[in-house]
Amino acid sequence: MNALIEAALNYSRTLLLMLFFVLICGLYSFLTISRELNPDITIPFINVSTSHEGISPRDADQLIITPLEKELRTIEGVKEISSTSFQGKTNTLIEFESNIRIDSAIVDVREQSQNAETELPDDTEQPIIKEINLALFPIILINLTGDISPSDLYHHADKLKDKIESIPGVLSAKIRGKRDHVTEIIIDPELMNNYNLSQQELISTFSENNRLVASGVLDNGSGRFPIKVPGLFTDPQHIYNLPLRTNGDKLIRVKDVAVGHTTFKDPRNITRFNGRTTVTLEISKRIGSNIIGTL
């Protein structure tokens, strides 16, 4: 002990320099190290979802979940399986032991899900297998509301989304509660009968005229370029002026047998704040980025 104290006194300047260096390193690490409220931890959870249009929750439990769980329980390292059935779909959550590698578990789940497909109803879509990663969950929710029209609210949400996604460390900003514009066509049955038109003819006309048509490839000295004829509806007037058929010298158009207006799609989910319509932005950060710096 005395020798240690004597050495410290003899080399006091060197010791102080080493302590100062350690202090600087510690301060630098404190300022630059990433901080997480919820650290990026790989958890052994895998979700398997299936879709079957029209199937009831009870039938889905018997015809889809039961055979699927039977195959999944044969996988080594499975700790617990929990399933939920909804109208037209099912979700199965598989928890593995902590020592199981998630990459190997996904391969095993995919193989056993394929084995179970032979026992599922014919119209059941192929199971979708996803790893659950907490790092991709939203770190913050932003609600936009106000005494403005839905169109203005969606416009402001789109502008804010673009600005947020330009921030370093932000992976994505998803908008929830936004409804897409649609053009609604209301047919007059009497006018349709007067022109001897069927509803199916009208639907076929819309379908045939609202598509991209490939027109081959253009070869020149600069290379090969695919050519497409623009055929998608971009304006309601394009729909109203579509020709249906000729009646003598008169060309019958959609606007002659129907009226239309621009509206919004029916909402798939509704978000409200204090009783007012709201648009929500879900902000997700990039894996490994500093959550405090991002916020």
Same domain, 146 and 289: yes
Sheet holding 45-51, edge to edge: 78-86, 89-96, 45-51, 128-131
Same domain, 198 and 163: no
CA 174 from chain center: how many Å?
8
* pLDDT higher than threshold 70 for residue 282: yes
14, part of any domain: no
* pLDDT higher than threshold 60 for residue 214: no
203, part of any domain: yes
CATH assignment at residue 116 = 3.30.70.1430
CATH assignment at residue 274 = 3.30.70.1320
3-state DSSP assignment of residue 281: strand
Query: Which pLDDT belongs to residue 110?
Result: 92
Nearest to 46, CA basis, from 111, 88, 91, 99: 91
Q: Angle, to 10 degrees, between the axis of helix 2-10 and the axis of helix 12-32?
A: 80
Structural domain range at position 84: 45-135
**What confidence tier does 213 reach under pLDDT thresholds 50, 70, 90?**
low
Same domain, 167 and 272: yes
The Cα-based distances of 180 to 147, 160, 211, 266 in angstroms read 20, 17, 19, 9
> Which stretch, 4-18, 186-200, 224-238, has highest mean pLDDT?
186-200
* Least confident among 24-28, 44-48, 94-98, 136-140: 136-140
28, part of any domain: no
Same domain, 176 and 274: yes
* pLDDT higher than threshold 80 for residue 294: no
| Count of structural domains, the chain | 3
Same domain, 237 and 126: no
Query: Which pLDDT belongs to residue 245?
Result: 76
**Residues 135, 41: Cα–Cα separation, whole Å:** 8
Mean pLDDT computed over 147-174: 85
Nearest to 192, CA basis, from 240, 242, 244: 244
Same domain, 154 and 93: no
**What confidence tier does 219 reach under pLDDT thresholds 50, 70, 90?**
low
195, part of any domain: yes
What would the pLDDT profile of 236-252 be if each residue is shown by its tens digit? Answer: 777 777 777 777 777 88
Question: pTM score, two decimals?
Answer: 0.48
Same domain, 56 and 160: no
35, part of any domain: no
Its sign, for the CA torsion 52, 55, 58, 59, is: negative
Same domain, 163 and 287: yes
Same domain, 128 and 273: no
Query: Which pLDDT belongs to residue 281?
Result: 86
Same domain, 96 and 158: no
Same domain, 227 and 254: yes
Same domain, 122 and 222: no
